Amino acid sequence: MSIFTRQGRALLLSAAALAFVAVFTLSCSKKCGDKAYDAKTQFCCNNRDIVDKCGGSEYNPETQFCNESNVVEKCGGKEYDLAAQFCYNNSIVADKCDGKEYNAETKFCLRNELLDRCGTKEYDPETQFCDTRDSGVYKFVKIKTQTWMAENLNYQPQTGKSWCYDDNADNCNKYGRLYDWGTAKKVCPTGWHLPTSKEWDNLSLAAGGKKNIDESGELDYYYWIGVGKKLKAKNGWNDNKDQSGNGTDEYGFSALPGGHRGSDGGFRGTGEYSGWWTATDGFGIGRYMWYNDDHVFGGELDKNSGERVRCVQN
């Protein structure tokens, strides 16, 4: 006859069960540093960080990440969305283009269309173009029937004469380069050209300018009233006493007062003046604006001085 009663055997079984649970709990509940974690669903990284397992697997969070229960290598140290993005050359995270991968060093995706980069730069061909000579990106604007650059040219040709204001490259980046007339005539990129005096007149007319009547009652063909205000940038121009010298930039032409270089080599007029070359020799060779009026002027400039270039599309 057994020395254990039915009640005694039940008590022994219950004690054994509790002991098993205690041992199981100890084996599955661990510590990471001074923090407890569930070893079934988590793991300890560097004895410091508690990390959720990925589909039941441990991984290195410094070089890998978890994406829908799959361990994935990071791209140049970055996580990314595998559905919408891809990793190029193990270093560049790029958006897929209409679901497709591509060479992200030479191309980019815009509005689900693959385009060639301008050097390393992305740009919007609806509002910008690429000067392939030096990978410069320029804004452009259409004003009536003409398409103009919306900023000054900043290309340094291998021949000819050109300068940065005060010989400071930051001024070239802000205002564009200064060119003598001989260089200006041939410096525009392919598909663009230095505008004639007539094309500048067409711009002034399209922007609502009116020709001036001089003191003798004659029509001054190179003096357009009121149009400078509409073509100037909204900031950057010096004040004229208590009046702002800035414009309204109604057409996106964004003229800035970068000054010029005199034929004597001196730099003058930043904040107050900007002049641009035309392709027309004689009195209509230049156009310029001042901070203290709202007009566009034309006149003869020293061909050895340094002025700005705005190209117009062919």
User: So what's the pLDDT on residue 299?
Assistant: 86
pLDDT greater than 70 at residue 24: no
Token pair listed for 8: 């005694």
CB 39 within 8 A of CB 30: yes
Token pair listed for 189: 């990129």
More confident call, 225 vs 130: 130
Token pair listed for 28: 């599955």
DSSP bridge pairs for 115: 108
**CA 95 to chain CA mean position, Å:** 17
Model's pTM, two decimal places?
0.80
pLDDT greater than 70 at residue 10: no
pLDDT digits (tens, 9 = 90+) for 78-134: 999 999 999 999 999 999 999 999 999 999 999 999 999 999 999 999 999 999 999
Domain boundaries, the chain: 29-116, 136-313
User: What's the mean per-residue pLDDT of the chain?
Assistant: 89
What residues have CB less than 8 Å from 57, skipping those under 6 apart?
71
CA distance 148 to 253: 8
| CA-to-CA dists, residue 15 to 4, 25, 59, 69, angstroms | 15, 15, 39, 39
139-161: b or e for each residue (b if 16 or more CB lie within 10 Å)? ebeebeeebbbbbbbbbbeeeee
pLDDT greater than 90 at residue 260: yes
